[in-house]
Amino acid sequence: MADAVSLWLVVLGSIGALYGVANFFRVLRYLALCLRQPRDLRRRYGSWAVITSPTSGLGRSMAVELARAGLNLVLVGRDPAKLHDVSEKIARCHGVQTKAVVFDLSLVSTAEGDEAMRRLRDAVEGLDVGVLVNNAGVAKPGALYFHEAEVESLMRIVRVNLQVLTEVTASVLPGMVERGRGAVVNVGSGSAVALPSFPLYSVYAATKRYVAAFSKGLYVEYKNKGIDVQCQAPFFVETNMASSVVKSSFYPQFVVTPDACARAAVRWIGHGPLCMPNLAHQVQWWFAGFVPGVINDAYRLAKNPQHRDMLRPSPAWFFLSLVLVGGVYAAAFSFRLLAYLALCLRRPSDLRCGYGAWAVVTGPTSGIGRSVALELARRGINLVLLDLDAANLQETSDMIKSRHAVKTKAVVFDLSLVGTPQGDEAMRRLRAAIDGLDVGVLVNNAGVWSSMAYLHEVDVEA
């Protein structure tokens, strides 16, 4: 028995030690980057940089740091007066050239947005653009449950944080490919990459997870073409995006200034697909790794931060701490496995009694959407089916009714037209179709898969 206990202590201690070694090397890498000579961005990538939202906060500080590194700047923002002020000040203080492109980024995919995107392409035409910083981001309306927020404010987050970043990258990247060098820096968020969830900011965090995944994919695609793509994911920075309530919930040492964040960010350009440039934020990331997801979820949802003093351990306590770390991770994995097995073995829940008598399913005429619709009908749930093909919708609806004797409604909706007058009309029909129904389940199954190609090879609209 004693031997078995000793073996488990050694195993758990080894797991904890491996985790500690991994983090030790992460700290060493950071220190090495801080101590060595900064990379010459102008020589390595090119003489011009494009930066979105450069008139305040982190964007302004990044613009100043890039100018200090000798890069000329194309500044993209919505306020002409502020753009002019920042442009003049940077040119005067750092002796670099600047161009200003007025672009209300929230209007992307509208006629005004398309015209502004054309002006951006014209502005960078013929320039040796070596660095692109996609800094623009929106977090408002802030901490709200999803159902409390205005849909338009949430869609603005999606447009600015996700769609603008994609379109601006698609506009600048082809020139980098042609020249065989460049760097793309996408500003993400530690709330998306270091934490398992960020409740009450769900749409914001989801867009920032897209930024991280998008950056990693482009990093793999373009690394051998001489282009470094990176997601920089800071935690809280002293900007207008972080409310005073949020900032007050952290130690002041963990809320960094835009200037400090920008200095570290410029040093990290070209060093891997994902980074958290500031040391204070890396410490937060490291500690976040020790917290099980369920505890983090409850902590974030309660908005009641708790802090513990870290004591320097003696050798015996150090070994026990490694055992504890290994034990926590082993226990977390075991509970996750048990939860999965319990879900597989227990009797399926009665969805109709638990949620409601109707379900809405998008894309139900083929593939997984069709299978999900059939499974819901098999469980006695009536269906509202959304798809663009009226004939396929009718066929699917008739087939489901004949097999499972449930009610169905079909709403013809070309989901690719969302945000257009035709899409608004279809959305009105959907609301009318579900009005008064006991809708208990919504399955957002619809999705689009484009053919495989490098980003610079595909049409932006696709």
Over residues 146-196, the pLDDT tens digits come to: 888 888 888 999 999 999 999 999 999 999 999 999 999 999 888 788 777
Helices (H) then strands (E): counts for the chain? 18, 11
pLDDT at 306 > cutoff 70: no
pLDDT at 284 > cutoff 90: no
Overall average pLDDT of the 296-305 stretch: 59
Report pLDDT digits (tens) over 364-419: 988 898 999 999 998 889 999 999 888 899 999 999 998 888 899 999 988 878 87
Distance in angstroms (rounded) separating the CA atoms of residues 187 and 244: 21
pLDDT grade, residue 242 (50/70/90)? low
What mean pLDDT value characterizes the chain?
Answer: 82
pLDDT of residue 315: 53
Task: Give the residues across from 275 on adjacent strands.
Answer: 232
Rounded to a whole number of angstroms, the CA Rg of the chain reads: 26
Q: Which helix (H) or strand (E) covers residue 129, if one does? A: strand 129-134
pTM recorded for the entire structure: 0.69
DSSP state of 310: P
Chain center to CA of 403: 41
What is the set of domains in the chain, with CATH numbers?
1-36+308-346 (no CATH), 39-295 (3.40.50.720), 351-443 (3.40.50.720)
- The residue to which tokens 């200095």 are assigned: 263
Q: What is the DSSP string of 372-400?
A: HHHHHHHTT-EEEEEES-HHHHHHHHHHH
More confident residue, 350 or 291: 350
More confident residue, 455 or 115: 115
Report pLDDT digits (tens) over 47-73: 999 999 898 888 899 999 999 999 999
User: Which of 30, 45, 201, 204 is flagged as catalytic?
Assistant: 204
In sequence order, what are the residues at sequence separation of 6 or more whose Cβ sits closer than 8 angstroms to the Cβ of residue 65?
Answer: 262, 263, 265, 266
Task: Give the residues across from 50 on adjacent strands.
Answer: 74, 132
In sequence order, what are the residues at sequence separation of 6 or more whose Cβ sits closer than 8 angstroms to the Cβ of residue 213?
Answer: none
Distance in angstroms (rounded) separating the CA atoms of residues 203 and 329: 29
Q: Which two tokens stand for residue 213?
A: 């995944």
In sequence order, what are the residues at sequence separation of 6 or more whose Cβ sits closer than 8 angstroms to the Cβ of residue 160?
Answer: 105, 106, 108, 136, 137, 138
Q: How far is CA 452 from CA 175, 220, 243, 456, in A?
A: 20, 14, 41, 12
Report pLDDT digits (tens) over 204-229: 899 999 999 999 999 999 999 999 99
Overall average pLDDT of the 121-131 stretch: 92
Cis before 141? omega within 30 = yes
pLDDT at 433 > cutoff 60: yes
More confident residue, 301 or 5: 301
Asked whether the beta carbons of 127 and 49 are under 8 A apart, the reply is no
User: How wide is the angle at C-alpha 215 spanned by C-alphas 332 and 301, nearest 5°?
Assistant: 40
pLDDT of residue 312: 41
Q: Which two tokens stand for residue 103?
A: 């672009």
39-53, 281-295, 310-324 — which is least confidently predicted? 310-324
- The residue to which tokens 């949620």 are assigned: 355
In sequence order, what are the residues at sequence separation of 6 or more whose Cβ sits closer than 8 angstroms to the Cβ of residue 325?
Answer: 15, 16, 19, 20, 290
pLDDT at 38 > cutoff 60: yes
pLDDT of residue 317: 55
At residue 85, the 3 state secondary structure works out as: helix
pLDDT at 19 > cutoff 50: yes
In Å, the largest CA–CA distance within the chain is: 76
Q: Confirm whether 204 is a catalytic residue.
A: yes
